[in-house]
Amino acid sequence: MQIGTQAICNMLTGNMAGSKLVWKEWMRDADRGSVYSELLAINDDGVIMATMILILNCIRNSEELCQIMVNAKTGVAMLNSILNDLERLHSDEQNKNFELGYAIISQLIDYGHFTTIYKTIENTSDNKMNGRLTMLIKVLDSKIHAYKEGEVPDFLGHTELKKISGLVRQLCQRAIFVMNQVIEGQQQEQEISSVLEIDDVSEVYTALVLILQTSSTLLTLNDQGHTVFKEMLIEDDVLKSVTDLLTCCETMDQKKQPGFNYLKRDSVRLLGALCHEDRRMQDKIREIGGIPIILAQCKIEDANPCKYSIYLREYAILALRNILKDNHENQAIIAELEPKEAVQTDELTEMGLKAKLVNGEVKLEKA
């Protein structure tokens, strides 16, 4: 099979007319085209490599053939197989087959087919998050971060930006549902492990972290595209969704239940970006009670790290700066806050110190 596939690949390489003719026939004739999606499912790296090279050679630099692939039943079957292979190989990104699969999906995204692929795979998965969808988001996220600094990538048109905005809200709601299940399970003294037996929990978490990071990145761009995306987020009421997510994460922490690592960090970062130089968002976060929950994040947490040594507390401080800037109503909320108690931390206990609240100020004394 590998030799036969390589032979076809050799015949079509550099033969644009032949590639176009053959590709259209494969996409039209399900019986012929399905052979190659079946080859992609074989547990043989050599066969998979030859098949991916063949597919890539056919669609490379051809908007027409990419369009045909994402709309054909045979093409969708190939995409499912390719994304499955990427998921299987994601821990070994130096693997040649991973590079080939990434190149195929990347080529399709370049021609603006992210949303089409996402919806198609979602429809074949009972609208549940799965590894193929997560891998598709990973490829998109990687391409955005690799794009030239300061500009919205050319492959992100209105449809793609709108899809990203919708995913923030959709995945936030799903994560909140899962965490509420955990909290309710604890209240009813159920086994937490049984509550967490939801098929797509892990995929929702991974996808949500990626989408939050991607959205924050797009909001920090300097060109006009970031303004368009921000208005989409506002229209989808993402500020409310992310604030609810952050509140739920905080509740999980207070109940000593493990939350989704990184979610607080990336939620705070996105909220800060939304409130940057935007009076509407500053007022909105005050109205929904989001300022105290942001203020509560001004602490160090091992579960919410950030590369480059920037942690949750730093993102929270930056977010507060954006929320309070030139907004007297928001500043008044902070000014009215009064300390309620001095928290005795394990670190203070180890140092032989005790925290006390005296006349509104925290004092330390020997234990």
Chain centroid to CA 44: 31
How many whole angstroms separate alpha carbon 256 and alpha carbon 272?
26
pLDDT digits (tens, 9 = 90+) for 136-164: 999 999 999 888 777 788 899 999 999 99
CB of 117 closer than 8 Å to CB of 79: yes
Which single residue is written with the structure tokens 């989001």?
Answer: 290
The size of the chain, in residues, is 367
- Selected from 3.10.310, 3.40.30, 1.25.10, 3.30.1490, the CATH number assigned to the domain covering 155-336 reads 1.25.10
User: Residues 244, 250, 253, 254: is their CA dihedral positive or negative?
Assistant: negative
Contact between residue 238 and residue 171 where contact means Cβ atoms under 8 Å apart: no
291 vs 227: CA distance, rounded Å: 24
Phi, psi of 157 (to 5 degrees): -85, -170
Lowest-confidence pick of 59-63, 106-110, 306-310, 319-323: 306-310
Q: Residue 28: is its pLDDT beyond 90?
A: no
Q: Residue with structure tokens 């590369």?
A: 307
Distances (CA, A) of 206 to 94, 139, 180, 260, 291: 21, 13, 18, 9, 26
The reported pLDDT for the residue numbered 194 is 45
Q: Look at residue 38 in the predicted model and tell me its pLDDT.
A: 83
Describe the chain by its helix, strand, coil percentages, rounded to 5. Answer: 70, 5, 25
DSSP-based three-state secondary structure for 43? coil
> For the whole model, what pTM was predicted?
0.85
Domain boundaries, the chain: 1-111, 155-336, 340-367
What local confidence, expressed as pLDDT, does residue 81 receive?
92
Per-residue model confidence as pLDDT tens digits over 97-114: 999 999 999 999 999 999
The yes-or-no verdict on residue 301 having pLDDT over 70 is no
73-89 vs 45-59: helix crossing angle, rounded to 10:
130
Q: Place 309 in a pLDDT band, splitting at 50, 70 and 90.
A: very low
**pLDDT digits 0-9 by tens, 263-284:** 999 999 999 999 999 999 999 9
